[in-house]
Amino acid sequence: MNSSLKGIIPPIVTPLINEEELDESGLARLIEYLISGGVHGIFLLGTTGEATSLSYSLRREFVEKACAFINKRVPVMVGVTDTSAAGLLEMAHVSKSAGADALVISSPYYLPISQNEFVDFLKNISPKLPLPFLLYNMPSCTKMHMSVETVRQAKELGAIGIKDSSGDLAYFYTLLDEFKNETDFAVICGTELFLPESVNFGGSGGITGGANIFPRLFVDMYKASLDGDLNKVARLRDIVIQIEKKIYNISADSSRYIESIKCALSVLGICSGYVAQPFSGFEEAQKQQMQVNIKELAEMYPELNEEISMLNSIT
Amino acid sequence: MNSSLKGIIPPIVTPLINEEELDESGLARLIEYLISGGVHGIFLLGTTGEATSLSYSLRREFVEKACAFINKRVPVMVGVTDTSAAGLLEMAHVSKSAGADALVISSPYYLPISQNEFVDFLKNISPKLPLPFLLYNMPSCTKMHMSVETVRQAKELGAIGIKDSSGDLAYFYTLLDEFKNETDFAVICGTELFLPESVNFGGSGGITGGANIFPRLFVDMYKASLDGDLNKVARLRDIVIQIEKKIYNISADSSRYIESIKCALSVLGICSGYVAQPFSGFEEAQKQQMQVNIKELAEMYPELNEEISMLNSIT
Amino acid sequence: MNSSLKGIIPPIVTPLINEEELDESGLARLIEYLISGGVHGIFLLGTTGEATSLSYSLRREFVEKACAFINKRVPVMVGVTDTSAAGLLEMAHVSKSAGADALVISSPYYLPISQNEFVDFLKNISPKLPLPFLLYNMPSCTKMHMSVETVRQAKELGAIGIKDSSGDLAYFYTLLDEFKNETDFAVICGTELFLPESVNFGGSGGITGGANIFPRLFVDMYKASLDGDLNKVARLRDIVIQIEKKIYNISADSSRYIESIKCALSVLGICSGYVAQPFSGFEEAQKQQMQVNIKELAEMYPELNEEISMLNSIT
Amino acid sequence: MNSSLKGIIPPIVTPLINEEELDESGLARLIEYLISGGVHGIFLLGTTGEATSLSYSLRREFVEKACAFINKRVPVMVGVTDTSAAGLLEMAHVSKSAGADALVISSPYYLPISQNEFVDFLKNISPKLPLPFLLYNMPSCTKMHMSVETVRQAKELGAIGIKDSSGDLAYFYTLLDEFKNETDFAVICGTELFLPESVNFGGSGGITGGANIFPRLFVDMYKASLDGDLNKVARLRDIVIQIEKKIYNISADSSRYIESIKCALSVLGICSGYVAQPFSGFEEAQKQQMQVNIKELAEMYPELNEEISMLNSIT
């Protein structure tokens, strides 16, 4: 698994018809779209995947179906972060049985937890995990920013990498430097705009929400970064900045990333835009705005237009 | 239920033998101790009850056994806060079946949630709740401080009260003032040291963790506050401040309230001191310190000594 | 000085005609009003006094004129908090020369400062201070919440008390307990609504902004608290809560406390409502709202009406 | 001035013999070192320059002497951020008289200030400024993170650029995008590790503290970024990461950046290591560690060794 931890690994949305029912055909379509876009792996049940909003039975069903659809074509990682060790281990075994390749673990997130308490927690659960695991640093949701020392100790306990979504640049560079000579540990970027630097300075790739909508764009940005093609990187990053403006900024909700990605996917006919409680999908006016904005983006950038056209060949 | 929402309602610990097993005899003993101490209600699966650390099956078993032991002698409230609406509703129905009287609900707590999103969430779930519900304002864990306007809207959606654990005094007084003429809405204090003011200015009582260890102390403080017996209040509050120093300050962990209450209960022979993952119980040296400190407290304050002695009559 | 550190000590506003000119007659009137209202001291150049917004020459002039008007009738404290030790010491000597009785010092507030760094800073400056000093805990402005250990060390360096404006109840009770047997150290409350508890549990009194507008109200609340007259305390606190609603909530600015107190004082004809840069006084519509609200308060509460009437005897 | 706003502009330290006295020969030496290192401008009295710790008379003297030593060889910017408009304007006029080229302004930083209040403040002071001004976004010290809309409004009020030290990558990219077609507005990076991306995506350069110690290193990194020489950028950034580790991490104080830069400069024989109150310079053991670490860095990287050798030619 470990050498496969690289490239663009979209944290996919969980397509839903309602609170209790998967949009199964939407899920199949999304997976085909991503794989045909060249993604290097798929991450299930992350923050963008609304993991914490779903019942355990729905999470289980989703992991099983997604793994079946993916069918070993790319590696699969499953987010099993939980406030309860029992819940985490249950989902870890579901993931193993479904054929996933790795787990992604953040700190328990209800009560504030210290660095030491988190390391002790990892000491307790890591021997019981049926699959390799990566860390997930996500302080805006978990209230805990993993120190480099904590990451180092987690590696000693078996962690094979970390996805950093802290948005803290100095921290990310420190991680890259700390593990630069350790090829058995992947440092993966969770901030879309920072993907090129991540790659240039030894990072393994990106788990970027926008790759749900435009997988090839991010794959191309990853490759251009690997190739040191600065001009191409600059052009593609411009597009990513426009996506930020045109797609993510339609709503000002704290949950707008999830809502806008799901809305964009529904506008593109890929899957349902339904968002699980406690949040909700876009309203009609916002959907229409999304339609207008995606059309504009496609007119401005031939790359996006082409990517969207690929959808025609996916049924 | 509504008129019963008053007095001291301990948020009881969940006595555990290990990650998966309840300390059933400890739970029975704790409940007898609390009821013989005169508490006015019991709150299951709050923050002190480690709700989020437990598997759903263990939560279910705990609610059922605790309700059976309590056997309608005092009203029972159950914390059903969850990141997932499905999980919340499942535990709500378990509570109803077990014979509980009310539910306690805080905001979903993984992704940051806005006031409006929380109100919308309540609009969706409140019609499906099988029991009356109270709000629980706990921003240090949920990252969301319920505005007075949000509390007002929640009342319109059926909330019968609020437990405030924000520690924000001005906010608490504003709540007391806002609902002072509405006898169908209870404002309950989650901060031990503020119980007397809470009662004096119209509050309904306190959900105070320390009442696990010294139920009568808090019941007496509640009554002295009701009676306006300032001298007695001052003396009892002095004791509570000493408890803060001698019992809660043995550890500096963020989880120390849970750990120290469980340790004190184990030192007193009431129930197991085991703390669920991701936290852990006190180490031997800390336990011995707890033993020494409780002895000291009992020597300093005859009230505490008497209260501990009551334990002899509980088997 | 030390035994005089008790009761109600209003943090007075700095009446201004414009950025550079004091409203001298307004200042004289305000001081007469406060002293006739029975206040136990006066605090110059605190947060409410806009100290940090004023030039040093204006601060100096203000201290000199205010001390002259007060003319030793009540003790005078001067806020000398500064980012620069030189600025702090300059204002300390101005205060001494003008006849003030004590200084009030918070931590330097531009760069975040640690507890140890602040204690070291106090070690350096305390021998150079020409007057006794109190601490001022104001984390919302200074980003530093003084630990009890820091306060203890400051006392060893000569501090004669602390004003706590953190709004953190558990902290305030810990301070009261820590220094309860030390009559040479005053613990003073900066939160209006908490004055009664402060007094009941050994606090020395309150530095409360609202006492600029209604000095007697706060003096009466202080006395009722000392006398243990709970009913009177409850009634007066109700009034203070209404003041919060009717006077402080007209604006939602972060600077609204200063703006609304100055506006109320101008509506009452006491002094100019001008607020120094970077903030600004109320607009016309807000002033009219203030007029209406003060009239309403005076009609609801005879105490306030009487207090306002006293103004007729002050020229 | 405006077209000169580019490249490496070190925020220079203020060399001090003690609280009240400049290390004048150290200042002269530092300026020669920086100019011979190829810097494109010099920034006086920033955060690294301890502006807020100094008396106004010392600030004035420093600006005058530094401008005299620089003698128009490179553009000079002066930080005039203040809690008081009067203090800000006084230093603005001092800067103009001394021959500086631009001012740098952050928000008043004692009371929390809103975006609107800051814009109103700029409306009031901008017509009175005798020199062009840049914004300085420094939320960790000022508690205020300037929104893009605020920056836009500031440009309309005359701002010619912004230095962003927020460390918030997505924000910085949004700024670059917002102003990419406006050549009269410079977006300058305050985070050392982000300089290359800043330059690649249209940023004007960096105000980087480390350039006090190794000016040529940063100038070279700036040029390599302009030239798109990715390999060189990667190598130089590796060095910057090592500087972070070896120089900035000797202390864990919040003031460690200032302390460590001053200590390094004193170890290199450039100027005094004295740090003004409320902070303090390194202790002997830390100084010795610094000496060892600088030697190590010079041995690892010939670039640094050469740069240090240049010092021999400066008297």
ipTM of the complex, rounded to two decimals: 0.94
Beta bridge partners of D188: D163, D205
D166 touches A at CB < 8 Å: no
Q: What are the start-end ranges of the E strands in chain B? A: 7-8, 16-18, 21-22, 42-44, 76-79, 102-105, 133-137, 159-164, 186-189, 205-206
To 5 degrees, how large is the angle CA D161–CA D164–CA D165? Answer: 150
Q: Which of A:38-67 have CB within 8 Å of B?
A: 47, 52-56, 58
- The pLDDT tens digits of the residues spanning C149-197 come to 999 999 999 999 999 999 887 789 889 989 989 999 999 999 888 898 8
Contact criterion met (CB below 8 Å) for A130 and A93: yes
How much of chain A exceeds pLDDT 90, in percent? 84
pLDDT attached to residue C266 = 97
The helix/strand/coil state of A173 is helix
Beta strands in chain D, from DSSP E residues, in sequence order: 7-8, 16-18, 21-22, 42-44, 76-79, 102-105, 133-137, 159-164, 186-189, 205-206
Q: Is B257 in contact with B237 (CB distance < 8 Å)?
A: no
Asked if A112's CB is within 8 angstroms of B141's CB, the reply is yes
Helices C115-125 & C85-98, crossing angle to 10 degrees?
Answer: 50
Instruction: Tell how strand B16-18 and strand D205-206 pair up.
Output: unpaired
Residue A258 lies in a domain: no
* Span D10-32, average pLDDT: 97
CB contact under 8 A, B86 and A114: no
Average pLDDT across chain C, whole number: 94
Q: What is the model's pLDDT at position B241?
A: 87
Over the Cα atoms of chain D, what is R_g? 18
* Contact (Cβ atoms closer than 8 angstroms) between residue C137 and residue C112: no
Q: Tell me what pLDDT residue B59 has.
A: 98
Q: How much is the pLDDT for A3? A: 59
**pLDDT tier at B2 (50, 70, 90 boundaries)?**
low
Domain range spanning residue D61? 2-227
Q: Which residues of D touch A228 (CB under 8 A)?
A: 230
Residue D91 in any domain: the answer is yes
pLDDT at B282: 95
Give the CATH number, domain containing residue C47: 3.20.20.70
How many angstroms separate the Cα of C50 from the Cα of each of B87, C55, C97, C99, D46? Answer: 51, 11, 21, 21, 24
pLDDT given for residue D2 in this prediction: 53
* Section D114-120 average pLDDT: 95
Whether residue A95 lies within 8 A of chain D, CB to CB, comes out as no
Which pLDDT band, with edges at 50, 70 and 90, does C314 fall under? confident
| B84 closest CB neighbour out of A53, A90, A120 | A53
Backbone angles phi, psi at A82, to 5 degrees: -155, 160
Mean model confidence pLDDT for chain B: 94
| pLDDT computed for residue B304 by the predictor | 95
The catalytic position among D6, D33, D136, D301 is D136
- Put simply, the answer to whether D254 touches C143 (Cβ < 8 Å) is no
Min Cα distance C237 → chain B (Å) is 9
Phi, psi dihedrals of residue C202, rounded to the nearest 5°:
100, 0
Catalytic residue flag (residue D96): no
Which of B250-259, C286-295, D128-137, D299-308 comes out lowest in average pLDDT?
B250-259
Q: Report the distance separating Cα A106 and Cα A137, nearest Å.
A: 6
CB contact under 8 A, B191 and C169: yes
At residue A314, the pLDDT reads: 85
C310 vs C99, more confident: C99
Q: Among positive and negative, which fits the CA dihedral C199, C205, C210, C213?
A: positive
Please report whether residue C181 resides in a domain. yes
- A285 at D interface, C-beta within 8 A: no
Candidates B92, B84, B78; CA nearest to B128 is B92
What's the pLDDT at A142? 96
D71 touches chain C (CB under 8 A): no
Mean of pLDDT values over C261-281: 97
* pTM confidence score: 0.89
Q: In the structure, do chain C and chain D come into contact, i.e. share 3 or more CB pairs under 8 Å?
A: yes
Confirm whether D163 is a catalytic residue: yes
| A115 occurs within a structural domain | yes
Q: Is the model's pLDDT at D201 over the cut of 90?
A: no
Q: What is the pLDDT of residues B143-202, one digit of tens each?
A: 999 999 999 999 999 999 999 999 887 789 889 989 989 999 999 999 888 898 889 888
Residues of C in contact with D254 (CB under 8 A): 111-114, 117
- ∠ CA(B229), CA(B233), CA(B236), 5° rounding? 140
Across the interface, which of C47, C55, C112 has its CB nearest the CB of D84? C55
Cβ proximity of A54 and B84 under 8 Å: yes
- Within a domain: residue C140? yes
Query: What average pLDDT does this structure show over B127-138?
Result: 98
Residues in A closer than 8 angstroms to B277, CB to CB, are 84-85, 108, 121, 124-125
pLDDT class of B312 with cuts at 50, 70, 90? confident
Both structure tokens of A304: 């996006």
Q: Give the whole-angstrom CA distance, residue A256 versus residue A279.
A: 9
Give residues with Cβ within 8 angstroms of A125, minimum separation 6. Answer: A85, A88, A89, B277
Q: Which one-letter amino acid corresponds to residue A186?
A: A
Any chain C CB within 8 A of the CB of B121?
no
Q: How many Å apart are CA A98 and CA A62, to the nearest integer?
A: 10
Burial bucket for residue D310 (CB in 10 Å: 0-12, 13-18, 19+): middle
Is D25 inside any structural domain? yes
More confident residue, B194 or D25: D25
**Residue C170: closest CA among chain B residues belongs to which residue?**
B193
Beta carbons of A193 and D169 less than 8 Å apart: yes
Burial class of C243 by CB neighbour count within 10 A (0 to 12, 13 to 18, 19+): buried
C149, two tokens: 């250990």
Disruptive mutation site among A14, A50, A110 for chain B (greatest number of B CBs within 10 Å)? A110
The alpha carbon torsion through B58, B59, B61, B63 (nearest 10 deg) reads 160
- Which of A19, A52, A86 minimises the CB distance to B110? A52
Q: Is C280 on the interface with D (CB under 8 A)?
A: yes
Strand spans (E) along D211-280: none
Report how far residue D292's alpha carbon sits from residue D294's, in angstroms, rounded to the nearest whole number.
6
β-strands C159-164, C186-189 pairing: parallel
Question: Would you state the torsion angle of the CA atoms of residues B224, B228, B231, B234, taken in this order, to the nearest 10 degrees?
Answer: 70
Q: Is the pLDDT of residue C315 over 80?
A: no
pLDDT for the residue numbered A270: 97
Domain contains D262: no
Chains linked to B by 3 or more Cβ pairs within 8 Å: A, C
| Structural domain count of chain B | 1
Which of D167, D228, D234 lies closest to A169 in CB terms?
Answer: D167
Q: Is C289 left (phi over 0), alpha (psi -120 to 50) or beta?
A: alpha
* Token pair recorded at residue A281: 């999908």
- Among C21, C83, C89, the strongest candidate for a mutation testing the D interface, having the largest count of D CBs within 10 A, is C83
DSSP per-residue codes, B79-108: E---SSHHHHHHHHHHHHHHT--EEEE---
* C250 labelled ligand-binding: no
Comparing CA positions, the residue from B131, B125, B70 lying closest to residue B97 is B131
Q: State the pLDDT at residue D137.
A: 97
Nearest to D120 among C124, C143, C280 (CB): C280
Q: How far is CA D281 from the centre of its chain?
A: 19
Predicted pLDDT of residue D3: 59
With a cut of 70, list the residues of chain A below it in pLDDT. Answer: 1-3
Taking the CA of residue A182 and the nearest CA in chain B, the distance in Å comes to 29
Structure tokens at B236: 């009892």
In sequence order, the 6+-apart residues with CB closer than 8 A to the CB of A174 are A148, D241, D244
Partner-chain contact B279 A112, CB within 8 Å: no
B303 in any annotated domain:
no
